[in-house]
Structure formats: C-alpha cells, structure tokens
Structure 1
Amino acid sequence: MTTSLPSIPRPQAAEAALPILLRQLRLAWIRCHWQSIASQAEGEGWSHSQFLYALCEQEVEQRQQARQHRLLRAAHLPWSKALADYDHGGRIETHRWQELEALSRQSEWLQRGENVLLFGPSGVGKTHLAVGIALAQIGLDQACRFYPATSLVQELQKARAEYNLPAALERLDRYPLLLIDDIGYVRRDEQESSVLFELICHRYERRSLLITANQPFTAWDEIFPSSSMTVAAVDRLVHHCHIIEISGDSHRRAQASRRSGSQQPQQP
C-alpha cells in the first residue's frame, strides 16, 4: 500500500497554518521557536534532517525540564538540599554513606519496593538526607511526596472518616517514593496508628517508604497501640530495607552556640 504525498500549500499559507498544526500536536516549544531555528538553519546551511533534529531535540529537552518542575512542585519538599551538601564526617559510617550515595544514583530499588529508614537524634540532618534522596530521584524522573508524619496521619484519618481510605492509599501509589518525616511524633492512639499501619501494609513490596525517626525500633511501642502491631509494622518495613543510623550532636544547637559565642562582648 502506497502513501500519497501531502498537498503542500504556498509558503505564506503554510507559515500561517503551521502554528495551528503545532498546537494540535502539542509541540509548544517548536510552535514558539521554529522560525528562529529556521533562520539559523538557513544561515548555516543545515540539511532538512538537521533542522528537524534541532527542533525535536529542543522540544524533548523543554518537556523534560517542565516535567522536573512538576515533580518538584508535587513533592512538597520543605527545602532544596542536595545529598552532597550534607557533612557526614563522623556522623554516618563510611559504608552506609556509600550506600546512600548508591541509592541516589539509581532508582531500581524503588521498582523493587525497598524502604529506607533514617535513625538519629533530633537535629543531626535526617530530613536533609531524606530531601537529598528525593531530589536525586526526581532528577531520575521518579515521583516523590514528602509528608511530616503527623500531617500524613491527619490526611489519612480524614479519608477514613469519609470512608475513602482505600482510595486515598491508592492515590499515594502514584508516588514510587513516599517520605514520612519524624514518625515518632505520631501519638500512640489507635485511630492514628491504625491508618499508619494500613499505609505500611498497603505499600509493602509494592512502593517504597523513606522514614525518619528519632527513636529506635525498641521505642516504637510508643507509636503503635500494641506490641503485636509494632512487630508487624517493623517486620514489613525492614524486610527489604536500607537502615542508616546517624550519630552526633544537633546541627541547630551547634549553630546556635556558634552564634551565641560570636555575639559575646570581648573582654578588654
């Protein structure tokens, strides 16, 4: 079966109709810039294929940048701090830091539904590390969503009260990586803990969780209302998991001490 050649209008008519066709094809960047690229192509003697390649390359690049911006907005990150900006010296064992760097460079662990747990006292940079991993995954075209633990629990509680909890859990499935910050602030309350437990069960071996916590597992009985629920939740989280422990003093307290010291009047 042969394909007949299209009927090409005169140059002026084609130039007038081209923006309409490009809008129908949703080629926004090409619609806005094809004339300047055409002038460059004519001036530099490009072939037709070189001209078409330049247009398509820029369209793809602009679409990728737009998607990155959408992913960043949808992630609701509290700030933008890269993993490389974290001073891990003396806080994280070398092989664990290398493990975090490896996780930031690839996304296969998300496809396997593996989890990351960051343990450490307040102020040592757990949220910084969580945000750094999320930014790296967004750079790899992976959707992420950041929640303070209490906000997430409140959202899920509201969904349960409206008999929409299953739908709310499924909506969160659009994010291969869900970040839950400061899980220890969830109160030991059956309603709060049960929706959190259902989320953990729902995502088990399907979607990844990144959780930051001040307390070790031995203190999680203060989060869940029964030891059996605690054991079941921890068992699911650690089955496919990367556990990173962070030590040291609070960055915030250290910075406050330095500021306080610099403001002390000098003795004559």
Structure 2
Amino acid sequence: MPLLLKQLKLARFRSHWQPLADQADAQGWSPGQFLYALCEQELEQRQIARQQRLLRGAHLPWQKGLDGFDHQHLEPHHWQELQGLTRQTTWLLQAENLLLFGPSGVGKTHLAIAITMAMAAQDQACRFFPATTLVQLLQKAKAAYDLPAMLQKLDRYALLVIDDISYVRRSELETSVLFELICHRYERKSLLVTSNQPFREWDDIFPSGSMTVAAVDRLVHHCHIIGIKGESYRQKAAAARVSKDSSNPPT
C-alpha cells in the first residue's frame, strides 16, 4: 500500500492511512467515511504546501503581517480599506492596482509585504521586486531582445510588487522598460507600487512629461491609493536609542 500511494503521489494518504484505518475500525466508520477523512487530510496538506510555495515564490525580503503594522499614520478609512483588500482577491481578479505613498521609513514596504502574504494565503501568485532589481531584470531581457517573453513570464503573477519606484534613476534606458511593464499589465494584471514621491514629482522618474502622464494614467485608472504620513520609524527608533544611551552613560 505505501508503495502504491507513493507512486500516486498521495503523501498524506501514505503517512496517515494506517492510523485512520485503525480509527475507522474502532469507531465503526463506513468505507466512504474513511475515504472522505483521507481525502480531507490530503487536500488540507496540499493547500498548506501550495501556500508555502507561493510565499517562497514571492521572494519577500522578510515576512510581516498586517497585524504587526502600526497604523497611527494612516487615515482610519485608509486602514479599513487596506484591511478589506487583504481579506479578498476581487481587486486582483479585476486587475486593480494599489499605490502606497509616504516618506521613507513609515512602513510602505511592511504594508506591501503584508498584502502580498495575505494574497498568497488566498492562493494568488505574487512576486515582490525592489524597483531597481526589476528594472535590471527587464533591461537584461530587452538587451537580449527577449522583453516581450519576460513580460509574459511575469503574467504568471496576479500581483507584481514594485517597491520604492522613486529610486529608479531618470534615464531613457531604465524607465522605458518600466513603462513597457506598466502598459503591458494595464487592465490585465495588478501592480502594487510604493513611492516616497507624489505624482507631481514623478517627472524625476520618467524622462519626459508625456511618459509620466501616460504611466500615471494607466496606474490610477483602476486603483486604490493610500497615503501614509508621519516620521520615519527608523529615525524614531534611532533617536530613542541615542536618548537612552545619553541617559545611561558608561561608567
């Protein structure tokens, strides 16, 4: 039996059929009840394994959920909107985008990671990229005359995260591939973009005003826009450490 189950790739069956068979005998289960219990455990294990694969495939820099986010710098309606987005995947199915704006250190990347994790938990394939890393990947594909194939390859992800788009240098070589990505996914697949610059400063990202307008137009057409205000958490933490050290000088 274990050999047959291994060949059928029923891992959970193989490890649990005997204990469940003993339980079925002891409790007088019908064959149908026994088979149902086995199938239920197999499906549960496969779902857990798939979610783990999706999380690994997202290439997150770390894992942090929404519960650990300090939302004091968010407007209450924005916080409610974010919570709602993590609970369902309708916005991905409708190819809607999510833009997170705010100064450095207020938790934009944390939110992007938390949302990615929530979508992976709901069986959605996602991919997280620092903006500069993504641009380098697209540039390499374009240099090899393989950009269309790379854009199609990225279509496997229902959600593509572009973190810190403001750090992309303003040049035709860099931003042209980023613009092509935005155009390619428009009304087809979702983007989550974080930025420490408002739209009015995106001329510093794209080399021409017309390209900026076209990129923003496609991003915001079907979009949720969240603004985060406040002081950098990292700066506050550093200031707290300095204050603590100054109040407790070495002896």
TM-score of Structure 1 vs Structure 2, range by shorter chain: over 0.9
Q: What's the CA shift for 1:34?
A: 1.0
Structure 2 counterpart SS, 1:117: strand
1:47-98 alpha-carbon deviations (Å, 9 max, x no partner): 2121111100100000001001100100011111111211111x11111111
Determine whether 1:228 maps to 2:210: yes
Partner of 1:87: 70
Distance 1:159 1:232 in 2: 23
Distance 1:112 1:145 in 2: 18
Partner of 1:35: 18
Q: What's the CA shift for 1:45?
A: 2.1
Distance 1:127 1:194 in 2: 24
Structure 2 counterpart SS, 1:264: helix
Describe how 1:80-119 pairs up with structure 2 within 5 A: 80-89=63-72, 91-119=73-101
Distance 2:12 2:111 in 1: 35
Distance 1:182 1:111 in 2: 24
1:205-233 alpha-carbon deviations (Å, 9 max, x no partner): 00000000000001101111100000000
| Gap regions ≥5 residues in structure 1 | 1-17
**Quick one: which of 121, 132, 148 aligns to 1:139?**
121
Distance 2:61 2:230 in 1: 23
What letter corresponds to residue 100 of structure 1 in structure 2?
Answer: L
Determine whether 1:177 maps to 2:164: no
Distance 1:198 1:266 in 2: 55
| Gap regions ≥5 residues in structure 2 | none
**Quick one: which of 112, 117, 121 aligns to 1:130?**
112
Q: Percent identity?
A: 66
Q: What's the CA shift for 1:266?
A: 4.3
Distance 2:211 2:173 in 1: 13
Describe how 1:1-268 pairs up with structure 2 within 5 A: 18-89=1-72, 91-266=73-248
Output the TM-score relative to the length of structure 2: 0.97
1:141-194 alpha-carbon deviations (Å, 9 max, x no partner): 111100000000000000001111001000110000000000000011101000
What letter corresponds to residue 103 of structure 1 in structure 2?
Answer: L
Q: Displaced runs of 4+ in structure 1, greater than 6 A?
A: none
